[in-house]
Amino acid sequence: MPVGRAPLMRSSNQAYFEKLDHVRLFAATLVLLYHTWAAAGGQAPANWGEELIHIGHTGVTLFLVLSGFLFTILTQGGAEPIDYRRFVLNRVLRIFPLLGVLFITALALARRDATVGDALSVILFSNLGSSPLFKFNNLLWTVAVECQFYLLFPFLIRFAHQRGPSYLIGLAVFWIVWRTLIAALFGAQFGDDNHYVYFTLLGRLDQFLIGMLLGLLHLRAPQRFRSAWVLPACGALALTAFHIMAASGDLWRNDARFMWLGAAEAATWGALLVAYFQSRLNFGPAVSRAFARLGQLSYSLYLMHIYVVQAIDRTHNWVHFTDASGINAILNGLIVVLPPALLLSWFSYQWIESPFLGMRRRYLPPPTPALPAAPAPRRASPG
């Protein structure tokens, strides 16, 4: 197969959902625009659309909800047993090749300061945010949180299958209450610093659980939200919700009273995700496939776009498109940052990620072949 024609990224378990690659592309682009905003001179948002970019870190939450949703529908809600070893190995093959490139680079840059403990933290995912090995990339904390969820998912989906969706609902409620209690008891010592919830599974597990719940909902009612009005209604709801969160400044505030907002943020994205996934919206085969091919680059795009932003910023190559600072920042993100970031991500995907993705193995039982129809009984001959 020619290098330039890599197949769309499919699960080792055969199922492929093109629209979810669209969502991946959207989430990665939202985070890219968020990081471009301040660097390109974006000021106070002038409208609700700019507000969404201004809090574009919420794209991370969309990624987490998407993970819970996708794995739930891939595993049919836990209806079939998961080979835990193969499941984890597949996640390693997906995550660690590119992470290894960043680790090698970080080790070269921090060789004077890094310790053995810092190196081990890469494996244990204990302090990716503070290790000198990763100070040059402030996005790697999400890899730690995702991997911790991957280790838990086979158990969570099994329990959900055995006990029903109420198990996930109860666990999510418990987790929010637990986080609120921890914030009330210990949050004051951190002042305005929200790192102990924003960057950890303590603050993020319920977002995965909401994605799983929506996955179960989709499996039970795959056409419930196909009406033409549902997607625009969910889009309007999302813009309104994020406007309120941005205006109040309460989202991810280190305050026990607002520890539930992370779940509300996830539910907002989740509603939009399911509405789009079930909708009849169709971009046409060519455009849809193009978006999907770009979406397969989302992991590289998410982790590596920050270097393009830094390179443009340090060389002062931002372009003045308009005097409106917000629109100017967005245009710089889409026109100046996104194309080279996608090119860098394409190289990363082709030569770092794709070869390892081909090594993944099926972690669900193979489909049971249909049995041939039994022959009709022969009538006894008269005689």
What confidence score (pLDDT) does residue 4 get? 42
Can you list the alpha helix ranges (DSSP code H) found in 110-225? 116-124, 141-163, 165-186, 195-198, 201-220
User: How far is Cα 184 from Cα 192, in angstroms, rounded to an integer?
Assistant: 13
* pLDDT, tens digit, 9 for 90 and up, residues 249-263: 889 999 999 999 999
Query: Does the pLDDT of residue 193 top 60, yes or no?
Result: yes
**Looking at beta carbons, which pairs linking 232-241 to residues 24 or more positions away fall under 8 Å?**
233/275, 234/271, 234/272, 234/275, 234/276, 235/272, 235/275, 237/268, 237/271, 237/272, 238/268, 238/269, 238/271, 238/272, 239/48, 239/49, 239/52, 240/48, 241/265, 241/268
Q: How confident is the model at residue 368 (pLDDT cuts 50, 70, 90)?
A: low
User: How far is Cα 128 from Cα 322, in angstroms, rounded to an integer?
Assistant: 38
Contact (Cβ atoms closer than 8 angstroms) between residue 171 and residue 209? yes
* pLDDT, tens digit, 9 for 90 and up, residues 85-119: 999 999 999 999 998 898 888 888 877 777 777 77
* Closest residue by Cα to residue 196 from 131, 141, 120: 141
Tokens standing for residue 63: 């990624």
* Closest residue by Cα to residue 79 from 160, 17, 15: 160
Tokens standing for residue 351: 């030569």
Q: Work out the mean pLDDT of the chain and round it to a whole number.
A: 89
What confidence score (pLDDT) does residue 254 get? 94
Mean pLDDT for the stretch of residues 126-133: 61
Sign of CA dihedral 38, 44, 47, 51: positive
What confidence score (pLDDT) does residue 381 get? 45
Measuring CA to CA, how many Å separate 267 from each of 68, 213, 214, 244?
12, 10, 9, 15
User: How far is Cα 265 from Cα 285, in angstroms, rounded to an integer?
Assistant: 32
CA 79 to chain centre: 24
What number of residues does the chain have?
383
pTM, rounded to two decimals: 0.90
Tokens standing for residue 331: 């245009």
Domain boundaries, the chain: 17-357
Contact (Cβ atoms closer than 8 angstroms) between residue 249 and residue 194? no
Burial class (CB in 10 A: 0-12, 13-18, 19+), 247: exposed
CA angle 327, 248, 268 (to 5 degrees): 75
* pLDDT, tens digit, 9 for 90 and up, residues 55-68: 999 999 999 999 99
Phi-psi region of 284 (alpha: psi -120 to 50; beta: other; left: phi over 0): left
* pLDDT, tens digit, 9 for 90 and up, residues 224-241: 899 999 999 999 999 999
Query: Does the pLDDT of residue 266 top 80, yes or no?
Result: yes
Q: How confident is the model at residue 366 (pLDDT cuts 50, 70, 90)?
A: confident
What confidence score (pLDDT) does residue 361 get? 94
The string of DSSP codes covering 144-160 is HHHHHHHHHHHHHHHHH
Alpha-carbon dihedral 109, 115, 116, 119, rounded to 10 degrees: -40
User: How far is Cα 157 from Cα 68, in angstroms, rounded to an integer?
Assistant: 10
Query: Does the pLDDT of residue 382 top 50, yes or no?
Result: no
Contact (Cβ atoms closer than 8 angstroms) between residue 345 and residue 297? yes
Query: Does the pLDDT of residue 2 top 90, yes or no?
Result: no
User: How far is Cα 312 from Cα 307, in angstroms, rounded to an integer?
Assistant: 9
DSSP-derived letter for residue 56 is T
Contact (Cβ atoms closer than 8 angstroms) between residue 143 and residue 99? yes
Query: Does the pLDDT of residue 204 top 60, yes or no?
Result: yes
* pLDDT, tens digit, 9 for 90 and up, residues 147-190: 999 999 999 999 999 999 999 999 999 999 999 999 999 999 99
* pLDDT, tens digit, 9 for 90 and up, residues 322-353: 999 999 999 999 999 999 999 999 999 999 99
